[in-house]
């Protein structure tokens, strides 16, 4: 009964999670710069192109189709997010892009396990690009430690599994203890 209860709770969590994550009505709203005199670089989602495009938000009003970064925009609005920003993006070499702009961004340097600055050209590149140092650190710094821990756990599990398997195979071959080899 407890397994059935756990499965039921899991189904509810999954369906709530999916409906929350993919409720994207705001992504279909048109770009709206708002009003005001404070100009902030923002991006909005264009559903026809499945892209996030830049605009200047004026500080007040506007609508919910406004994001601080392309990553945040794509995560909230595009079903292709995992293709463009895979979870292992921290291991990608930084890619400056292919346009003419110069925007200060951050990338994770896996060799030195720290986030560094670079100039992004404003288009293309890969998922190892962060709007600010804090989001880069939060996403990537320390992943080597996590990988080592995971690898160690897997190795310990495999060794225990191999020992258990060896004992089982000896139990399955009762004549082997008598010096008779079974093939």
Model confidence pLDDT, tens digit, residues 111-166: 898 999 999 998 888 889 998 998 888 788 776 554 443 344 444 545 665 666 66
DSSP-assigned letters across all residues of 73-138: HHHHH-TTHHHHS-TTGGGSPP---SSS--EEEEEEETTTTEEEEEEE-SS---S--BSSHHHHHH
In three-state secondary structure terms, 80 is coil
Model confidence pLDDT, tens digit, residues 64-102: 999 988 878 988 898 887 677 665 788 889 899 988 999
**Distance in angstroms (rounded) separating the CA atoms of residues 163 and 161:** 5
**30 within some domain:** yes
Last residue in a domain, options 85, 106, 124 = 85
Supply the CATH number for residue 37's domain. Answer: 4.10.410.10
Give the model's pLDDT for residue 9.
Answer: 36
**Distance in angstroms (rounded) separating the CA atoms of residues 51 and 49:** 5
**57 within some domain:** yes
Give the model's pLDDT for residue 2.
Answer: 40
**69 within some domain:** yes
**Distance in angstroms (rounded) separating the CA atoms of residues 44 and 54:** 7
Model confidence pLDDT, tens digit, residues 164-178: 666 555 555 544 444
Last residue in a domain, options 68, 85, 102 = 85
Last residue in a domain, options 37, 60, 85 = 85
Q: What is the extent of the structural domain holding 12?
A: 1-85
């Amino acid at each position: 009964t407890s397994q059935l209860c756990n499965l039921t709770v899991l189904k509810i969590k999954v369906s709530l999670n999916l409906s929350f994550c993919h409720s994207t009505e705001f992504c279909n709203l048109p770009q709206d710069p708002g009003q005001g005199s404070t100009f902030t670089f923002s991006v909005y989602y264009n559903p026809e192109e499945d892209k996030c495009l830049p605009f200047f938000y004026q500080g007040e009003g506007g609508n919910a189709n406004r994001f601080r970064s392309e990553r945040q925009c794509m995560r909230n609005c595009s079903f292709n997010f995992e293709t463009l920003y895979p979870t292992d993006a921290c291991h990608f070499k930084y890619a400056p892009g292919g346009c003419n702009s110069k925007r200060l961004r951050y990338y994770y340097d896996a060799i030195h396990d720290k986030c560094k600055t670079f100039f992004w050209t404003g288009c293309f590149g890969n998922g190892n690009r962060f709007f600010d140092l804090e989001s880069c650190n939060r996403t990537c710094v320390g992943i080597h430690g996590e990988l080592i821990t995971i690898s160690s756990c897997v190795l310990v599990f495999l060794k225990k599994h191999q020992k258990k398997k060896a004992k089982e195979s000896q139990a399955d071959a009762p004549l082997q203890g008598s010096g008779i080899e079974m093939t």
